[in-house]
Structure 1
């Protein structure tokens, strides 16, 4: 009698855990290929696009123009976040994620088919900017949806850990992108790589489509959103009529501070994966393949830091990890370029890897933290706007700003000052925001999956 009473609950719990493990895997694979697509463009903008799309310009002007097209994706990200947030808060997290992933895969695939300026002239960079803009729209929409699918489907004691399966997509994306580019550059001559070899990594984005199909057919929307839908259905009204307007009206200070949480990690990250590659190749005369290998290895090593920092934030709170990481970035800003400027590849590796560890400490807990700052009915809109504002104000412009500062001053000191200032912005933002995972929640034995994140 006892066995029959307990068994259904045990089976239900086992099924819930299996579903959640599949969701974590889908979130990790989907975000990894999504970020692979987005970051692949940044590496190509530093190493390939100046010659392919701006062949008549000087090396400096071609690099600046290439990084300008890189920036276009970041300009689009807040728009993508607004649109996906609106529909994600009204109709569900899953549909918004599916559309975003589909758009990203299609745009990246088409970049791989795009003729260069030598074939179609000025139309080539114009179409490139358009496709990069679509990438930005897709990227802006997917982040909030994936991290909310992961965190809202998890118990309060594991939201930091679960959210990292979306966050780990960033270093995995860098590893995948650099591995494919390294393979292409290693197997081909420089002429063949610039002619057609660079296209292969972009065409490989077709691998995203089976993951989209899996999420569409197999993944349920989150318990929190389904509960909101049930409540709205009983009242015969929409879950929320104008989620973005409501989020801005009631939470604008939180949106700005949550945006500031990403300033340090975004600035240092995009310098390491794009800006420093162009600087090392053109100004320092370092080997492109050596730097790509360092970037790949560094990203691989920091995947575990992202997972660890999210897990620790479940134990000690979200803010401590972010505060420690931001303070470390401030201190590392000047040693970073001192090591890079030696042109020694081992010291270059130390600079990039130590910086990546510090920025991963702030990035890991952010998925759970930003979501927890907002009420469920405006969470997609609030979280997406916070994340994507940081993208357009810091991320996209950083390689351009770095290149322009070095060209103007002939020194990397202004870039180090910029990194340190971004670290201070994150430090102050985390200091001002409330802790969303306090000790009483971490120690509550009754906390269950689907509990509200207020």
Structure 2
């Protein structure tokens, strides 16, 4: 029986082929994650903008002006309430069966829910309002799995030195979708009569999202499972299987720290992008078109801030970028409400741009920072719980609480809203001191235990 030897040329060719396959999967992961993020956040952005403008009259007109706005913001909150449940379920399944099947399922669910929202009749009372709440729940559940799953597919396919910049493409889907949503709503509200916009114009974005979903689904079908998950599965074959939820036993303080660290980035975004819309039109006296334009400009600029944040985090560290983001959010939040209250559109745009630019600096570094805190066996669950509970606790109720405070405290109540937001930003800057940045550039496939 002859011994076969592998020539150096054959080994070199094999390594080259593996490298090409890895880079191709890396590109597909980025494209899939970015498109999925854009779809998920586009639907959320559209719903958020409409919940602050016309949904109160379309679905909750029987509750009076103030009650209708609170009810509309409450349905917006339902989406966030569902996100931790989606994070737990999708995180458990993603850590047990793989990232790829979970991402396919969450993508399809979001697309169908958004389409059905666009087809709902209005002014039909409690039954249709209940259906709206249910579909909003499905949106939130899907996003709970999608937001982290797409990030991990990219982080676990990416080379360590590029995790920051590649991860940033996952999260810039949020400001891109905000820009597209506000452009579309501004154009529709400016070109259609009020009756036409409230009758069928607002439906178009939800219905159109199904086409984006089909494109994203095609890309995701071609995406392979990550090497980190495959290595973990091979290791688990000879060891006791680890449930993703054990992260609450092995790394509870890490989860708590990541929740508190991420709090102001999630909260500030919704204070400015959602409640800010209502504040600009109701207290500032701006037209809906001016309000949509303000957020469109601020979100457009913040796209570049997100990419810059990811790129910079690969060079100076994730924590440093988070601190810079906190500083920008502090300055922007401090100026936004007084600028709107003064009636200055230019100052309002500048303040919103600084605030949301700071948010996106953090968003750029977040996928890499979160992925590097948890081992592969619990990475999906740990990251998803941290991200989504931060959103549930600090972001989801923000528009509702701000609107309630505005009714309670009169015309100068924005100082209270602003003060609370600034306090959360300061808290995050302090908590970030205690977060580890030691796994930057490390191969995530070799990060198998929280003790590593």
Alignment TM class, shorter chain as reference: over 0.9
Is 1:166 aligned to residue 170 of structure 2? yes
Distance across 1 between alignment mates of 2:336 and 2:284? 15
Cα deviation for residue 432 of structure 1 reads 1.7
Is 1:132 aligned to residue 133 of structure 2? no
Distance across 1 between alignment mates of 2:220 and 2:312? 32
Is 1:243 aligned to residue 244 of structure 2? yes
Q: Give the SS at the match of 2:52.
A: helix
Q: Tell me if the contact between 2:328 and 2:354 (Cα under 8 Å) persists in the aligned partners.
A: no
TM-score by length of 1: 0.92
Cα deviation for residue 338 of structure 1 reads 1.5
Query: Of 29, 41, 48, which aligns to 2:54?
Result: 48
Distance across 2 between alignment mates of 1:329 and 1:295? 15
What is the alpha-carbon root mean square deviation over aligned residues?
1.9
Distance across 1 between alignment mates of 2:237 and 2:393? 39
* Partner residue, 1:400: 400
Is 1:39 aligned to residue 68 of structure 2? no
Q: Tell me if the contact between 1:34 and 1:208 (Cα under 8 Å) persists in the aligned partners.
A: no
TM-score by length of 2: 0.93
Query: Of 150, 153, 157, which aligns to 2:157?
Result: 153
The within-5 A match list for 1:21-100 is 21-100=27-106
Distance across 1 between alignment mates of 2:111 and 2:30? 20
* Partner residue, 1:313: 313
The within-5 A match list for 1:101-250 is 101-117=107-123, 120-234=124-238, 238=241, 240=242, 242-244=243-245, 246-250=246-250
Distance across 2 between alignment mates of 1:279 and 1:346? 16
Distance 1:451 1:155, change over 3 A: farther
Structure 2 unaligned spans of 5+: 1-6
Distance across 1 between alignment mates of 2:339 and 2:283? 15
> What is the count of residue pairs matched by the alignment?
441
Structure 1 unaligned spans of 5+: 442-446
Q: Tell me if the contact between 1:318 and 1:436 (Cα under 8 Å) persists in the aligned partners.
A: no
Is 1:427 aligned to residue 390 of structure 2? no
* Partner residue, 2:263: 263
- Indicate the larger mover: 52-61 or 210-219: 210-219
Cα deviation for residue 142 of structure 1 reads 0.7
Q: Deviations over 1:368-398 (max 9, x none)?
A: 1111111110110110000010111111111
Cα deviation for residue 7 of structure 1 reads 4.3
Cα deviation for residue 108 of structure 1 reads 1.0
Q: Tell me if the contact between 1:85 and 1:384 (Cα under 8 Å) persists in the aligned partners.
A: yes
